[in-house]
A = this chain, B = another copy of it.
């Protein structure tokens, strides 16, 4: 039983994502999954395991290693009346399909004067932390959020893994879903009847009064741990989960900061030009006079991700750094 008395089940993020896809396939015959090894292999991260057996090779399509073509085909299929879920194995390979995403998916509705919308969902794994080195550890979701015409969502909880996909599929425009590779094995209790959730609003995952920890995706867990840690020393940290990076829910960010007067953005992207910069700029623009001190950022070091464990850990945002920085910030009484 969850707090609100709804029946709950124990589930992993991976399984929640799979249920979301299965549910969508059952609800709408126009929905199909296409990508590298989504079928016979069961998905690179086993997310689509079993779906081929249930839905067959027409709707669970293994593709050749042709990222640009199958992402573009997803755009075409969406215009042709289907509701494709295109899986790009990881964000690192999405660079090979960027032309289709930026020059076609994001522009066609506009270039056609509103005639052709693209109801396409693209899922991809993102993030570092598993010693996969420089070509397999990008966190580019914040970078994608720069592109008008697409939406970018980052489920960080079981409920969002289970509920964001359907809403994304019902959206008339292209939605990119970034799943942090470190989350798939996360387990917990989820309402048994969990279903579709909005993909517009940020969520307060923990309320607090002294400082706002603003984050999303793979670093939400670290921020919550940090808040727990800070609580021990009577520092009340509010944790804001952005959930959607484009369009950003600026209002929720500003509301939180006007309550706490301090903001620390935590983001696994490289610091320069990261989504955390945009958030800092928006707070500057809308809550400057509410700030007790400058907005701070904890991001990844600006280095291609090294393989060695100790170097990778030192390159990524860590709970200890969040706690330490937050302490100093709260220490500075406005």
Contact = CB atoms under 8 A, between A and B. Distances in A.
**Chain A interface category by residue count:** 35 or more
A151 interface: no
Nearest to A145: B273
Residue among A134, A143, A272, A296 facing the most chain B CB atoms (10 A cut-off): A272
Contacts of A107: 134-135, 304
A116 interface: no
A148 B272 CA distance: 9
A103 interface: yes
Interface stretch (A54-62, A91-99, A160-168, A179-187): A91-99
Interface in A123-174: 133-135, 138, 142-143, 145-149
A297 interface: yes
A294 B282 CA distance: 10
A297 B281 contact: yes
A79 interface: no
Interface of A: 68, 92-93, 95-96, 98-99, 102-103, 106-107, 110-111, 133-135, 138, 142-143, 145-149, 246, 248, 269-270, 272-278, 280-281, 284-285, 288, 291, 293-297, 302-304, 306
Given A96-B99, A107-B134, A285-B296, 11 more contacts: A92-B103, A98-B98, A103-B135, A143-B143, A146-B269, A272-B278, A273-B277, A280-B285, A281-B281, A281-B295, A284-B295
